[in-house]
Amino acid sequence: MLPPTIPIFPLPNAVLFPNACLPLHVFEPRYRSMVADAVRGDRIIGMVLLQPGFEAEYEGRPAVYPIGCAGLITHVEPLPDGRYNMILRGIEKFRITGEDQSNAYRLAHVEALPEPVTEPDRALLGTFRSRLEALFAMLIERTTAEHRFPATVTDEDLVNALAQYVPLDPLERQALLERDGVLARGRALVELLEMKTITRRRAWSSGSIH
């Protein structure tokens, strides 16, 4: 169960999805303190995306998108100069309802946004799987057979993994995260990847990719 208040790590280019992993390098003093406190506590940190125009206020508390994903620190490597390398595994989506201003790093009041998958949803997700695998293979220019995912990877985990790891713009990832459940995310991901493969084919045919 997600605590009602969690530290948040706002970045301009990182979005986390449930059950996906995100490697991070932490170097700012305030976020080094955040990691140290999290490791001593429940190891939970919320990832949120900074809204455009954050640069002027970056040292303060610039606006972030209200929907994020909490992650559990599964691996942490303290470095000699105080920085950290760590890996977060996504555990649950959340919505920010307010902020606690009492700490140097950012603390947010959050409400969990569980994404249960019903049996009808699961059946529909299964119909997306082969299309997602084929689109992924086309995007990375490998044969589909070489990039089928193990059957042990559930359909919902496959959707979240592709949303996490396929090359996408941060705002595209944020839009996927904000979808109302994994089924809606899967549909949107199919549409997005189809658009990208069409764009790539057109670029190849016009000779603009070398």
Total number of residues shown for the chain: 210
Mean pLDDT by 10 residues, the chain (210 residues): 95 96 95 96 97 80 94 97 96 97 93 94 88 83 56 90 92 97 95 81 53
- For 67-92, how does the pLDDT look when each residue is reduced to its tens digit (9 = 90+)? 999 999 999 999 999 999 999 999 99
What pLDDT shows up at residue 68?
Answer: 98
The residues of the chain that CATH labels 2.30.130.40 are 5-112
- Burial, 45: exposed, middle or buried (Cβ in 10 Å; 0-12, 13-18, 19+)? buried
Spatial CA neighbour of 155 closest among 192, 130, 191: 130
Phi, psi of 159 (to 5 degrees): -60, -50
Model pLDDT, residue 144: 43
Please tell me the CATH code under which domain 5-112 is placed.
2.30.130.40
Helix (H) or strand (E) holding 63: none
- How many angstroms separate the CA atoms of 102 and 62, rounded? 16
pLDDT at 206: 54
